[in-house]
Amino acid sequence: MTDPVAPTPSAAGSEAKPVSVVVKDIVQEYPSENGGVTRVIDRVTLSFDRTGINMLLGPSGCGKSTLLHMLGGVRPMAVKTPTSGSVSIDGKECHDAHDDSVMVFQRYANRPDLSVFDNIAFPFRLKLWKSRVPESEWRRRVADMLEAVGLADKAGLRPAQLSGGQNQRVALARALVLRPKILLMDEPFGALDAQTREEMQRLLIDLYRSWPCLVVFVTHDVTEALMLGDRVIVLSTQPARVADDFMVNEARPRSAAWQRSAEAQSLEERILNQLHASPGKGQVRVTI
């Protein structure tokens, strides 16, 4: 995986040793309505061995969210059909949510009763993070994150007093304040208008530059995949298999001119061909 963005000094520390995530021969079946089972993921093997932004695309319902959770060690809950295959993080087989992995969802998951500051600081109420990070350190980190996501003057407001984009900034800050090795993002900007989505993409690029980690980012938006990704992985329709997997070597931020270049156009076509090769097709947003 290429990493055109060099880590800044603030990124030194726990990220110095790159994390490795390997899913091998993953098969996931879910109970179907007729009493049988539906295979959702079919023998997917993927390996991530360094920091970088990895984009995961695929038709609607093909199993992206299921696979994304597994990359953090999380198996589907309350399902009688177990996952087969293995998930290894840093060389150790993983059967449960991994402590170094955090997730950001489209629906922010901010607590309505807490201020912006307390929402970002929320993980430090939990035993694991309380024991890992002293209070003076997490308070400093929360203050840094408030600055980094541009919400320093909104620290005392509640989520209902914020816009969608600002709420997603809070969710991103809450994830990055933990300095995760693995950041899993499930269509995080999918509900935002086009302009806010672009602002959030620029913000993610800036935050990644300061706190690089292994990012896996699910999107339906082909342009988003090309503007953000070091690597683009395309899944086929259900049952999901890896249909394509390639690198994008252009440094970020990627310009409008690059977006219009022959290289970008041909990568876009390559992704769309794979998505359209899937019989189910699903929703694909192209904003180039």
Ligand X SMILES: Nc1ncnc2c1ncn2[C@@H]1O[C@H](COP(=O)(O)OP(=O)(O)OP(=O)(O)O)[C@@H](O)[C@H]1O
Chain CA centroid to CA 130, Å: 24
Alpha helices, DSSP H only, in the chain? Answer: 64-71, 116-121, 127-132, 135-148, 164-176, 194-210, 222-228, 256-259, 262-277
Closer residue to ligand X, CB minimum distance, 77 or 257: 77
Residue 65, interface with ligand X (CB under 6 A)?
A: yes
Phi-psi domain of 144 (left: phi exceeds 0; alpha: psi -120 through 50; beta: other): alpha
Distance CA 18, CA 44 (A): 22
Closer residue to Mg ion, CB minimum distance, 65 or 210: 65
Closer residue to ligand X, CB minimum distance, 260 or 281: 281
Question: Of 63, 72, 212, 229, which one interacts with ligand X (CB under 6 A)?
Answer: 63
Q: Indicate if the alpha-carbon torsion angle 229, 230, 236, 241 is positive or negative.
A: negative
Selected range binding ligand X among 53-61, 113-121, 135-143, 251-259, rule: CB under 6 A: 53-61
Residue 65, interface with Mg ion (CB under 5 A)?
A: yes
Distance CA 54, CA 234 (A): 11
Q: What is residue 119's three-state secondary structure?
A: helix
Residue 38, interface with Mg ion (CB under 5 A)?
A: no
DSSP 28: E
Question: Of 53, 62, 71, 176, which one interacts with ligand X (CB under 6 A)?
Answer: 62
**Per CB under 6 A, which of residues 236..275 are in contact with ligand X?**
none
Selected range binding ligand X among 46-54, 57-65, 108-116, 125-133, rule: CB under 6 A: 57-65
Closer residue to ligand X, CB minimum distance, 4 or 31: 31
Q: What does 170 interact with, of ligand X, Mg ion, none (CB < 5 to 8 A by kind)? A: none
Closer residue to Mg ion, CB minimum distance, 81 or 106: 106
- CB of residue 32 vs Mg ion: minimum separation in angstroms? 18
- CB of residue 95 vs ligand X: minimum separation in angstroms? 18
Nearest by Cα to 214 from 94, 110, 90: 90
Maximum Cα–Cα distance across the chain: 56
Selected range binding ligand X among 58-66, 113-121, 197-205, 264-272, rule: CB under 6 A: 58-66
Task: Show the tokens assigned to 281.
Answer: 């097709």
- CB of residue 243 vs ligand X: minimum separation in angstroms? 13
- Tell me whether the omega of the peptide bond preceding residue 159 falls within 30 degrees of 0, making it cis: no
Q: Which residue has the tokens 């929703």?
A: 283
- CB of residue 66 vs ligand X: minimum separation in angstroms? 3
Return residues touching ligand X (CB under 6 A). 30, 40, 58, 60-66, 76, 79
Return residues touching Mg ion (CB under 5 A). 65
